[in-house]
Structure 1
Amino acid sequence: MNQTSNWKRQFFTIWAGQAVSIITSAVLQMALIWYLTAKTGSAMVLSMATLAGFLPQALGGPLIGVWVDRMHRKYVMMLADGLVAAAAAVLAVIAFYVELPVWVILLALFIRSIGSAFHSTALNATTPLIVPGEQLAKCAGYSQSVQSVSYIVSPAAAALLYSIWDLNAVIALDVLGAAVACCAVAMVRIPRPAAQAPGAKSGFTAELKEGYKALNEHKGLVALLWIGGLFIFAFMPINALFPLMTMGYFGGTLKEASAAEIVFAVGMLLGGLWLGKWGGFKNRAWTIVAALLTMGAALLLAGLLPANGFIAFMACCAVMGLSGPFYNGVQVALFQERIQPEYLGRVFGLYGSVMALAMPLGLVAGGAFADQIGVNRWFMLSGLMIMGIAVLSLLLPSIRTLDEAEEKERESA
């Protein structure tokens, strides 16, 4: 892989720009949700807003991946940030003259989601071109920490800014964040894989098949892809059910529900920083299995707690958050290490599609089961499922011996 000697400066320049953009986008996203809630009070509208957020990645992930692999990834990230900013700017212009119609907000969310899908795919495919292979898991930890900070900061920041500014000012803040991210990417020299050279294209369908073939050469990664889908199916409802668990089962207040979310996000932040410092076990499969077992056990314990066990529930939330980066970050790093750079866009496009499709399926199943059996029992069931996924990962030879197989390939090369 093409790596530069000053990779730390290049990675952290991009990382800093993305941190600003992610946080300002999260603040705007929260402000728009509150605007829709106040304007309509409709659960259907909020569901449509959520749908607009994941649909482009779910349906277009592999196609987005082909375009990312065809184009210079630096320009893809800059254009994607520009698209997100442009959608926000159009919202601001319309809001200046009239009250924002719901359909305009939903359309803007959809367009912003397209930009985000291109950007996240390009960023994941770009990182291995800059960062040495042995540092990818650590860098994934730092990236996870940025997401955690956005989870912590965005609700409070959105509440403060939305109360003292009008929506246009919050939108302007997001446009500024996107501009910072564009400037950060513009400052970095990003090498281009040899297969991306002009004239290297062999046809859209053929390129799509080449991406699948590149992934299929690594059976352990194929298994991890589907393990990831199962994990998202089991865990995603937990995010939606946190307030119900706190307020419905433990009889807490809105402040206590917010505290549980913040404790979870702080756990994620600490887990991301820990992963950034340590990098996980030498055998990454063991890191993934340990993270899944830890998260599953914390969920199971949370579901077994009595109705007066809120303090213990907070501790479980911290453990859940702490273990998350050791699963997500290491999994992404493995894909970045194993797949050749010229195919990474297509592979991460497929990866994003599987995760995005598993998300609504899990939310529907989790909501239905929680209504029938109780939210605390869904926490138990989710914990058992995730622990089962950990055991399945341990039993699958392609995952268990992932690092050993790669080592043998390097020795024979």
Structure 2
Amino acid sequence: MVIVHDAAAGPARGYRSVFRVREFRPVFAAHPLSVLGAVVAEISLTVLVFRATGSPLMSALTFALGFLPYALGGTLLAGIADRRPARRVLVACDLLCAACAAVMVLPATPVAGLLALRCAMAFVAPLFQGTRAAALADVLGPGEAFVLGRSLMRMVAQSAQLIGFGLGGLLLTVLAPRAAIGLTAAGFLGSALLLRFGTRARPARAAAARTPPLAGLRAVLAGRRLRVLTLLCWLPPVFFIAPEALLAPYADGIGAGTAALGVMMCALPVGTIAGELWAGSRLGPRARSRLVAPLATVAMLPLLAFAVRPPVPVVLAALLLTGLAHAYGIGLDQWYVDAVPEALRGRAMTLLSTGLMTFQGAGMALAGLAAEFAPVHAVVTASAVLGTAVVVLLLAALRSAGRGEQGPRNETDPAAK
């Protein structure tokens, strides 16, 4: 498949150059619509199910169903990302989610139906995310513009989640939960329209069309270097997620109020957004690549401050510093896309997002389980130590894989040398 992108954009020079690519703008505009829709649906549906059943367990299950189908959907549907035209896949996923949300609005839909529809929306989410990531490389090219575009999408998702939780809570003070879910349907429909009429029709990747889906997934993980890169994307979030998962009991344990808890919950994503903005706007591709290993290695070290059960200001500083160190993700994105065969890019990106969500969910569960047997501050401290050790081991394995595998490498990737 020939990669076509707007030649008028020229070489990437920061985030502004990405917006010069005409086709990227509707993709970017569609992203917050779908993210906000998903977040509002998550809050509204949780409230709706609790009011209908009076069961905290059912309410929690509704929230968990946003994560549980990820692994199954990503595994079974990943091949579609390469075997079908990207625009068709993206629009179909958005329309399916809009239809599910529209059915949720109907008063006759029972609780079991609401949960099944929630599963259906989560089931196609990894396919949508993987296909969109692969399509970004087609729109922007697989170089610096791609990693900057992916960085923008990541920051928009984090910002939209923060806004969406507040907006969802506000909406539920003036609207019934089913009415709020109706806005979700409108958001997904708006995203589908932007993608359908704002992006170019491209054929499926011909080489992938002849490859069975599961064989394609095995091919993604067959190479040692790509396998280690995938683990480097998947495993650190298992440990990064521990403080966020345990902030509520930690705040309660040190006597902090709900306002302090809210501020602490925002610290890590705010730091992450600031770090990515700095790396994307101030650093070139070579500098971002050189920073991957050192930043990834030290990223969790600020969380060691939890060992002394610190007060709120110290917690805020630790979380902000950890978030800032996430700037290494831009360089890691470039390493990953350089290592993925173009014909398998859609499957690789779908697998990447599937594993990321699955491992984050597992990290939350493991942190909560550990906190049943040990103090919260000790669990966060142990997570930082273990997470740092895992990153160091993976970086060492990546250097070894770079020396042992033949083929083209990114000259800006120190780990490949």
In the alignment, which residue of structure 1 is the partner of 2:125?
116
Q: What letter corresponds to residue 385 of structure 1 in structure 2?
A: L
Q: Flag structure 2 segments of 5+ consecutive residues without an equivalent.
A: 10-20
The answer as to whether partners of 2:129 and 2:350 remain within 8 angstroms in 1 is: no
Could you say what secondary structure the match of 1:406 adopts?
Answer: coil
- C-alpha RMSD of matched pairs (Å): 2.9
Q: Cα offset for 1:348?
A: 2.4
- By how many angstroms is 1:83 displaced? 0.6
Q: Give 3-state SS (helix, strand or coil) of 1:222's partner.
A: helix
Q: 2:409 aligns with which of 374, 383, 406?
A: 406
Report the residue type matching 2:100 in the other structure: A
Q: Superposition pairs for residues 34-49 of structure 1, below 5 Å?
A: 34-40=47-53, 42-49=55-62
After superposing the two structures, state which structure 1 stretch, 256-265 or 331-340, moved more.
331-340
For residues 102-156 of structure 1, give each alpha carbon's deviation from its aligned partner in whole angstroms, at most 9, with x where no partner exists: 3222112101112322211211121111113122221122111111212320121
The separation in 2 between residues aligned to 1:120 and 1:203, in whole angstroms, is 21
Q: Structure 1 residue 325: deviation in Å?
A: 5.0
Residue of 164, 172, 185 corresponding to 1:154: 164
Q: Per-residue deviation at 1:284? A: 5.6
Q: Identify the match of residue 183 of structure 2 among 147, 168, 173.
A: 173
2:219 is aligned to: 213
1:62 is aligned, of 51, 56, 75, to 75
- Contact in 2 for aligned 1:285/1:400 (Cα 8 Å): no
Which of 294, 297, 300 is the matching residue for 1:293? Answer: 297
Change (3 A) 1:291 1:84: farther
Letter in structure 2 aligned against 1:171? I
Matches within 5 A, 1:195-344: 195=206, 201-202=209-210, 204=212, 207-217=213-223, 219-248=224-253, 250-278=254-282, 282=286, 286-301=290-305, 303-307=306-310, 309-327=311-329, 329-344=330-345
Aligned to 1:71: 84
Residues 260 and 312, structure 2, Cα contact 8 Å, conserved in 1: no
Deviations 1:193-223 (A, max 9, x none): 5516xxx74363xx43244325434x32210
Relative to 1, partners in 2 of residues 1:202 and 1:2: Cα closer, same or farther, differing over 3 Å?
A: closer
Q: Kindly provide the CA deviation profile for residues 245-271 of structure 1, in whole angstroms up to 9, marking residues without a partner as x.
A: 2222x2111121111112222222223
CA distance in 2, matches of 1:232, 1:263: 16
| Structure 1 unaligned spans of 5+ | none
Classify the secondary structure of the residue corresponding to 2:202: coil
Match of 1:81 in 2: 94
Mapped to 2, the partners of 1:279 and 1:21 lie a distance apart of 30
* CA distance in structure 2 between the partners assigned to 1:48 and 1:281 by the alignment: 43
Could you state the TM-score of these two structures normalised by the residue count of structure 2?
0.85
Distance 2:327 2:176 in 1: 35
Contact residue 137 and residue 279 of structure 1 kept, 8 A: no
The CA deviation at 1:57 is: 2.2
Once residues 412 and 280 of structure 2 are traced to their aligned partners in structure 1, the CA distance between those partners, rounded to angstroms, is 27
The whole-number CA distance in structure 2 between the counterparts of 1:409 and 1:271 is 20
Count of equivalent residues: 396
Bigger share in helix: 1
Q: For residue 208 of structure 1, what is the amino acid of its counterpart?
A: L
The aligned counterpart of 2:203 is: 192
% identity of equivalent residues = 20
Could you report, residue by residue, the CA deviation over 1:171-200 in whole angstroms, capped at 9, with x for unpaired residues? 22212211221122121115335516xxx7
CA change 1:337–1:32 in 2 (3 A) is: same
Which residue of 112, 125, 140 maps to 2:150? 140
CA–CA distance in structure 1, aligned partners of residues 211 and 285 of structure 2: 41
* Cα distance between partner residues in 1 of 2:409 and 2:347: 21
Cα distance in structure 2, aligned partners of 1:71 and 1:78: 12
**Shift in alpha-carbon separation, 1:399–1:269, aligned structure 2, 3 A:** farther
Say whether the 8 Å CA contact 2:40–2:167 is kept in structure 1. Answer: yes
Matched, 1:104 2:105: no
Matching residue within 14, 21, 29 for 2:42: 29
User: Per-residue CA shift, 1:362-389, capped at 9, x if unaligned?
Assistant: 2332112112111111110111122112
Closer/same/farther in 2, CA of residues 408 and 140 from structure 1, 3 Å limit: closer
